[in-house]
Structure 1
Amino acid sequence: MYHEQTYASLRKRRIHRIVAVAIVVILAALVAFSVQLAQQNARTQAAASLRNAILNSAKECCAVEGSYPSSLSHLEDAYGLTNNHNDYVVTYEWFADNVLPSVVVVPR
């Protein structure tokens, strides 16, 4: 059976297509935003984990050697601490042998 397409039916079909495309674009933008937010959250958590590893290694060094290390390189050489220098900026401030160093880790 032949069904003639009217202007109203063509317009209705066009609106449905536009709405469908708009929904797909909005969903794609939400997925991209969610992925970016998850990556940023992972980098922040990794920076916090690196800071905790540095502080734990400094405490271990103090327990073994009797004083906190004066540099981050001592922890890397003697205690096997690994740090990705390309991804994180680490500020290690040592004040005295008996004071826990100040450590700040910032993702690049």
Structure 2
Amino acid sequence: MYHGKTPRTLRRRFALAAAGLLLAAALAAAGAWGAGRLEKDLAAKGAGALRATVLERAVQCYALEGAYPPSLAYLEENYGLQVDRSRYIVTYEAFAPNLLPDVTVLQKGG
């Protein structure tokens, strides 16, 4: 005979549903953390790539003109360098025309 669902079966289904929801929430949290981490890694690589590009253009200038450029603006005007100032802060310190400049690239926060 059929007497309906037992309370034990209903509790088991409820527990399985709760466990499934907890697992889904944990996976969503892990995915959000991973996406944030990926964004930070890409930003750091972008800053490193920009620094490498600035140094490459400075070396190109030295090869063509016999002196390193006096400023970042000189590279932008004469060597086609483009800096996204809304995303990066670039410091360019030229000590002497025959010494490689010190270049630092920082990503702006937020």
Structure 2 unmatched ranges of 5 or more: none
Cα displacement string for residues 3-50 of structure 1 (whole angstroms, at most 9, x for unaligned residues): 511221111111111100000000111111111111111111111100
How many angstroms apart in 1 are the aligned matches of 2:3 and 2:57? 79
How many angstroms apart in 1 are the aligned matches of 2:84 and 2:62? 24
2:68 corresponds to 1:68: yes
How many angstroms apart in 2 are the aligned matches of 1:63 and 1:94? 16
For residue 25 of structure 2, what is the aligned residue in structure 1? 25
For residue 90 of structure 1, what is the aligned residue in structure 2? 90
Structure 1 unmatched ranges of 5 or more: none
Q: Kindly report structure 1 stretches of 4+ aligned residues shifted beyond 3 Å.
A: none
User: What pairs up with 1:30-49 in 2 under 5 angstroms?
Assistant: 30-49=30-49
How many angstroms apart in 2 are the aligned matches of 1:3 and 1:103? 80
For residue 105 of structure 2, what is the aligned residue in structure 1? 105
Structure 1 residue 2, shift from structure 2 partner: 4.1
How many angstroms apart in 2 are the aligned matches of 1:39 and 1:104? 20
How many angstroms apart in 2 are the aligned matches of 1:5 and 1:99? 84
Q: Kindly, what percent of the aligned residue pairs are identical?
A: 38
Query: How large is the Cα RMSD of the aligned pairs?
Result: 1.2
AA at the equivalent of 1:29: A
Number of residues of Structure 1 aligned to a counterpart in Structure 2 = 108
